[in-house]
Amino acid sequence: MSIALEHAMLAHRVRSQRRARRLLGCLGALVAVALVDLMTGPAMLTVEQVLDALLHGEGTADPMVGIIVHTIRLPMLAMAVIVGASLGLGGAVMQTILGNPLASPYTLGFSAAAGFGAATVILFGLSLPFAPWLTVPLAAFGATAAAAALVYGFARLRGATAEILVLAGIATLFLFQSLQSLLQYLASPEVLQQIVFWLFGSLIKASWSSVAVSGAILAVSLLVLLVHAWPLTALAFGDERARSLGIDVERLRVSMLLVVSLLTAGAVAFVGTIGFVGLVAPHLARILIGDDQRHLLPMSALCGATLMTAAAVVAKVLSPGSVVPIGIVTAVVGVPFLFVLIVRGRSRGE
């Protein structure tokens, strides 16, 4: 090996280590923000109290603390982490398969569809006899599946190019947004308030069962996506080149699209439409770690989870006692953040 090559290989190793360090660093940040989240609320807790409650279950020195941490704050925290990770991951995949920095689970109308499904059952007061708590999530889920089928149908007819998918997605977005508005127009004031509250998104609806469902979807999706990490990376070279590398581009795009619709449904079904994390987290992750999907995918999930948890803390601090819809906070916190990212420019290729 030449000296130049040895230098380059050394740089390659240093880069790999730097990426690993940044992944760990982001994980550390998530843990720290999560701790702050557990401490924050109407009753402020100290770090010791929280750690004590975490270590000893509900049999802590102060049983009240145990109950607050375990039955109220932990499920909400877990949900925030899962929802943030799902949206971050979904956004990263969306941006990759559409080759478009503006793409997110919002872009293709998946979130709007979920909102429409939820609004429908709320408006008509429908309820599943055996599991009422699953009614709204299942409706959101079903509507997301319908949106995915719509986009997929377009793709089957006209070929799954990025342009066709973006167009189909925007059409789907407008369709479901209009339907949503129609339902809101039809609703009585009380029902309207319920619908709007759902649409803004709130962690208050989190429970261990919803955490289990959304968490399982996240875990399976992450695995499937990681298996396709290299083909997804190759998409960055454009369809023709990826195809000439032996990748079935259209099939990859459509199957990844289905995974994203699943992730989105899992994220918003229980807590409502929370946007923005899916747009910002992948950008942040890309700046930190580059486009190699093996690292970008976990990093996007971590960034999403951290942003979401931080937004949850801010929401609690802003209005102790009442619950500010977290969807609003993520947007209000996220927009300036996105501006900073844009102004600083993209330092790519880390």
Partner 1 sequence: MSLAIAALQVGYARQVVVHDVGAKLAAGTVTALIGPNGSGKSTLLKAVAGLLPHRGTVTLDDRVMGRDRGGAIAYLPQDTGVRAALTVLETVLLGRVRTLGLRLDPALVDDAARTLEGLGLASLADRAVGSLSGGQRQMVLLAQALFRAPRVLLLDEPTAALDLRHQLQVLELVRAQTSARATVTVVALHDLGLAARHADRLMCLSAGRIVAEGAASSVLTEERLRAVYGVEADIVAAREGALGVIPLRAVATGPRPG
> x/- binding map, residues 7-26, to partner 1, per CB under 8 A?
xxx-xx--x-----------
Query: Is the distance from CB of 95 to CB of 103 less than 8 angstroms?
Result: yes
Is residue 124 part of the contact set for partner 1 (CB under 8 A)?
no
**Beta-carbon count within 10 A of 237 CB:** 13
Instruction: Say if CB 261 and CB 145 are below 8 A apart.
Output: yes
- The residue from 60, 194, 233, 264 that contacts partner 1 (CB under 8 A) is 233
Q: Least Å distance between CB 341 and partner 1?
A: 14
Q: Is 142 in the site for partner 1 (CB under 8 A)?
A: no
Give 236's contacts (C-beta < 8 A, 6+ positions apart).
96, 99, 291
Q: Which of 162, 171, 175, 226 binds partner 1 (CB under 8 A)?
A: 226
Q: How many of the other CB atoms lie within 10 Å of CB of 341?
A: 15
Give the nearer residue to partner 1 in terms of CB position, either 91 or 117: 91
Write out the two tokens for 173: 């977005």
For residue 164, state whether it binds partner 1 (rule: CB under 8 A): no
User: Which residue is associated with the tokens 């649409």?
Assistant: 199
| Contact characters 292-321, partner 1, x per CB under 8 A | x-x---------------------------
Q: Is the alpha carbon torsion for 284, 339, 175, 154 positive or negative?
A: negative
Helix axes 277-289, 74-98, angle to 10 degrees: 70
Token pair recorded at residue 175? 């369709």
* Count of chain residues binding partner 1 (CB under 8 A): 38
Rounded to whole angstroms, how far apart are CA atoms 148 and 142? 10
Which residue number, 199 or 284, has a Cβ lying nearer to partner 1? 284
**Residue in 67, 175, 220, 229 binding partner 1, rule: CB under 8 A:** 229
Rounded least distance, CB 306 to partner 1, Å: 21
Q: How far is the CB of 91 from partner 1 (least distance, A)?
A: 16
Work out the end-to-end distance of the chain between its first and last CA atoms, rounded to an integer number of angstroms. 25
In the region spanning residues 249 to 288, those forming contacts with partner 1, defined by CB under 8 A, are 286
Residues that bind partner 1 (CB under 8 A): 1-2, 4-5, 7-9, 11-12, 15, 99, 226-227, 229-231, 233-234, 236-238, 240-241, 243-248, 286, 290-292, 294, 346, 348-350
